[in-house]
Amino acid sequence: MYIPFLPLTQRASILGFLLAAFLIVLVMINGSSILIPITISVGLWLIINDLTNVIHRIKIGPFQCPRGLAMIVGLVLITFVMLRVAGVVYFSAIDFMSRWPEYMKNLEALIATIPNRVWTTLLGNEARRGVDVVDQLFVYGADYFSTYMTTLIASMASLFSNAIYVVVYVIFLLLEQETFSAKARNMFQDDEQRGEFQIIMR
């Protein structure tokens, strides 16, 4: 790409800006598939660290669980609990959606059992119109809820497909945390800033 009448350094700056803007837009468009696994990974990493510290402090007589073993146990426990909870929620949602038409029929039958005099008492001369409005609201609400549940199931399925990325991110954070102190010393020359950073990362 040639931009006339501009020095080479300015043309390079403009091209760099355009490239950065393109990358930002690309991340914003496809960011959810990247940011969500990273966010979950950071959360799991923090939980695993806390659980590791708890297990490491447990003493049985003279024996104290080594930190490495405590980290492995914490990782296994968190993985088991997460898979268990996610599986229950996912398959419960699948089962619920498979029974959704049946639930709708039962609810419609229940509404149909309401006597007309109830509508007349509540709405007077507008009873017929009120019933139609209630039916429309019921249909819209049911469609919205069905769409929401379908989207939720699709999101969970997508998250399951990205589980390998979550595992890789968590393992990376667990391995890299041992070098955080050294990196903090290189990043922050000021002792106060370095101390604040280390407090945040604990």
Q: If we measure between CA atoms, which residue out of 40, 31, 35 comes closest to residue 173? A: 40
Per-residue model confidence (pLDDT) at position 189: 63
134-148 tens-digit pLDDT = 667 777 777 777 777
What's the pLDDT score for residue 21? 65
Tens of pLDDT, residue by residue over 104-132, are 777 777 777 767 666 666 666 665 666 66
Share of the chain above pLDDT 70, in %: 60
The dihedral built from the CA positions of residue 18, 22, 27 and 28, taken in this order, carries a sign that is positive
pLDDT value of residue 1: 46
pLDDT for position 12:
53
**The tokens of 141 are what?**
């609400």
Q: Which residues fall within 8 angstroms of residue 125, CB to CB, at 6 or more apart? A: none
- 3-state helix, strand, coil split of the chain in percent (to 5) is 85, 0, 10
Tens of pLDDT along 52-73?
Answer: 888 888 888 788 888 888 888 8
